[in-house]
Amino acid sequence: MPRIALVTCRPGPEVSIDRDLPVLVAALTDAGAEAVAVEWDAPDVDWAGFDLAVIRSTWDYSWRAAEFVAWAEACGKATRLANPADVVRWNTDKRYLGELAAAGVPTVPTRYIAPGAPADLPDDHEYVVKPTSGAGARFAARYTPDQRETAVRQLARMHAEGFTAMVQPYVKSIDATGERALQFFGGQLLHASRKGAVLAPGTPYDERKVAHPGLEFWEPTAAELAVAERALAAAPKPTELLYARVDLVDGEDGEPRVMELELVEPNLFLSLHTGSVARVAEAMVAAGNADKAPAQS
């Protein structure tokens, strides 16, 4: 009977409720495991007392990214951590998109503006500004060229708080065809979903957004699956990923591109895909039983 920690965060006004958490605890118990939800920053947790720690809903990490990565590295030395700490370190900074692009993975074009750098913003197309460390569309906003002054104020606020900004063209296809999320678990496609546009025109960057509006079932195309698999193959330790979510949009050529590769704490959308619960629990139990030795990162 493996002892499994489902790692979450403290409740708060800016943190979504993880509705999958009690469902997973129950499913793991039914599958023969001892499962418990644990806050990642809770004091005096004996992580070595677990056979497996699975990062699930640490949705406050982006405000404390350095602290969170340090926790992941310590936890990964005490027990098996899914996903591994060096994957967490890589994926909590969205500059990984540049590495995916360099590896030939189709991605949404992205530029980065670090603190102290000039506010080099587009003047001929709509664009999005968001932090390289963020979740749930926090500090993200959509701008037209004539809204430059507002975008510059957002950059100043982000830079003052130590964030590097990323700038992407607004992908207009999202308004028509949405964003697709392909979920992988245990190395296999688990299910896929589609959601609507998150960033409405004129929504302030510091206003809370609905992260997954209009979520619905989706049957991925062969092209979407191929791009998702290329993205996963280009990630660190691809064979050691217990879970992954690849978020895709259509480029101007109509072909799928990676918007984000979620390897840390992706929502599994199990409330929509109830048929996937047993498969997720079985994969976690198998990972918990695979090797009782700590996984070093």
Which of 258, 239, 245 minimizes the C-alpha distance to 184?
245
Which pLDDT score is estimated for 136? 64
Cα distances from 278 to residues 35, 57, 190, in angstroms, run 14, 19, 11
Handedness of CA 107, 236, 69, 160 (dihedral sign): negative
Which pLDDT score is estimated for 14? 77
C-alpha torsion angle, residues 153, 155, 159, 165 (rounded to 10):
170
Phi, psi of 242 (to 5 degrees): -75, -40
User: What is the spatial distance between Cα 177 and Cα 67, in angstroms, rounded to a whole number?
Assistant: 37
Domains 3-92+273-290 and 96-262 share a fold: no
Q: Where are the domains of the chain?
A: 3-92+273-290, 96-262
User: What is the spatial distance between Cα 27 and Cα 186, in angstroms, rounded to a whole number?
Assistant: 16
User: What is the spatial distance between Cα 278 and Cα 107, in angstroms, rounded to a whole number?
Assistant: 32
The domain 96-262: what is its CATH number?
3.30.470.20
The distance from CA 213 to its chain's CA centroid, rounded to whole angstroms, is 16
Which pLDDT score is estimated for 211? 79
Taking a C-beta distance cutoff of 8 angstroms, is the pair 1, 252 a contact?
A: no
Which pLDDT score is estimated for 297? 45
Which pLDDT score is estimated for 37? 98
Which pLDDT score is estimated for 288? 96
Phi, psi of 206 (to 5 degrees): -95, 10
Tell me which fold the domain 3-92+273-290 belongs to: Rossmann fold (3.40.50)
User: What is the spatial distance between Cα 277 and Cα 273, in angstroms, rounded to a whole number?
Assistant: 8
Which pLDDT score is estimated for 291? 65
The distance from CA 225 to its chain's CA centroid, rounded to whole angstroms, is 18
Strand order in the sheet with 188-195: 216-217, 188-195, 179-185, 243-250, 256-262
Which pLDDT score is estimated for 199? 86
Low-confidence ranges of the chain (pLDDT < 70): 136-137, 291-297
